[in-house]
Amino acid sequence: METNSTPRPRTAPPSPVRAVRWRWYLLGGAVGAYALLAVGTQARARVPGPIGPGTAVRAALVPPTFFGGIQVNEPDHDRWVDAVAEAGLDSIEVTLYARQQRWDEAELWYEREAPWVVSEIRAAKRAGLRVVLVMRVALEHGLSANRHLWHGMIWPRDDQLELWMQRYRDFVLWGAGMAAREGVDLLAVGNELSSLASTLPVQQLPDLYAYWIDPERVAAVRSELVRCAAQVMEEGRGDDLVQLDGGRYRDLEAMLGAEEQVRRAWVHAITGGNPRNLGHLNARRGRYERFWRRLISAVRDMYGGGLTYGANFDQYDQVGFWDALEYVGVNAYFPLGLYGLESESRVPRMEQAWRRIGERLASVVPSRPTILLELGWTRWLGSTVRPYSYSRVEVLETAAEAAPEPDSLTCVHWATQPTDASERVAALQALSNVVQAGAFDTLRGFILWKLTTQSEHRAIEPFAVLLQPGSGYTDLGWQSTPVTDEDALDNAYLALAARVGDTIRTRLGRVDRRR
Give the pLDDT confidence score for residue 512 in this predicted structure: 54
Give the pLDDT confidence score for residue 52 in this predicted structure: 33
Q: Which residue has the higher pLDDT, 72 or 19?
A: 72
Q: Dump pLDDT digits (tens) for 102-121.
A: 999 999 999 999 999 999 99
Q: Mean of the per-residue pLDDT values for the chain?
A: 88
Give the pLDDT confidence score for residue 509 in this predicted structure: 86
C-alpha separations of 345 from 332, 342, 348, 411, 433 in Å: 22, 5, 6, 21, 14
How far, in Å, CA of 167 to CA of 169, rounded? 5
Give the pLDDT confidence score for residue 398 in this predicted structure: 95
Written as one letter, the residue type at 112 is: R
Q: Poorest-confidence range of 62-71, 142-151, 312-321, 461-470?
A: 62-71
How far, in Å, CA of 397 to CA of 17, rounded? 7
Fold of 16-508: TIM Barrel (3.20.20)
- Mean pLDDT over 170-187 rounds to 98
Q: What percent of the chain clears pLDDT 90, i.e. is strictly above it?
A: 79
Q: Where are the domains of the chain?
A: 16-508
Q: Dump pLDDT digits (tens) for 267-290.
A: 999 999 999 899 999 999 999 999
Dihedrals phi, psi of 190, to nearest 5 degrees: -175, 170
Q: Which residue has the higher pLDDT, 58 or 279?
A: 279
How far, in Å, CA of 498 to CA of 488, rounded? 16
Decide if pLDDT at 463 tops 60.
yes
How far, in Å, CA of 209 to CA of 198, rounded? 12
Q: Dump pLDDT digits (tens) for 351-362.
A: 999 999 999 999
How far, in Å, CA of 240 to CA of 257, rounded? 17
Decide if pLDDT at 434 tops 90.
yes
* 55 pLDDT tier (thresholds 50, 70, 90): very low
**Is residue 487 helix, strand or coil?**
helix
Give the pLDDT confidence score for residue 280 in this predicted structure: 95
- Mean pLDDT over 18-31 rounds to 39
Judge contact between 495 and 473, C-beta under 8 A: yes
Judge contact between 501 and 441, C-beta under 8 A: no
Decide if pLDDT at 438 tops 50.
yes
- Mean pLDDT over 25-53 rounds to 33
Decide if pLDDT at 455 tops 60.
yes
Give the pLDDT confidence score for residue 166 in this predicted structure: 98
Furthest CA-CA distance within the chain: 66
Tell which residue, 302, 212, 289, 294, has the closest CA to residue 257.
212
Q: Dump pLDDT digits (tens) for 126-174.
A: 999 999 999 999 999 999 999 999 999 999 999 999 999 999 999 999 9
Tell which residue, 13, 26, 403, 7, has the closest CA to residue 222.
26
Give the pLDDT confidence score for residue 61 in this predicted structure: 40
- Mean pLDDT over 235-244 rounds to 92
Decide if pLDDT at 468 tops 70.
yes
* 511 pLDDT tier (thresholds 50, 70, 90): low
* 7 pLDDT tier (thresholds 50, 70, 90): very low
Give the pLDDT confidence score for residue 510 in this predicted structure: 67
Give the pLDDT confidence score for residue 147 in this predicted structure: 96
Decide if pLDDT at 24 tops 50.
no
Give the pLDDT confidence score for residue 32 in this predicted structure: 38
Dihedrals phi, psi of 35, to nearest 5 degrees: -90, 0
- Mean pLDDT over 199-228 rounds to 96
How far, in Å, CA of 272 to CA of 279, rounded? 9
DSSP letters of 92-142?
EEEEEEEEE-STTS--EE--S--HHHHHHHHHHHHTT-EEEEEEEEEE-TT
Omega within 30 of 0 (cis) for the link into 450:
yes
How far, in Å, CA of 347 to CA of 418, rounded? 20
Residues contacting residue 261 through CB under 8 Å, at least 6 positions apart: none
Decide if pLDDT at 220 tops 50.
yes
Give the pLDDT confidence score for residue 514 in this predicted structure: 45
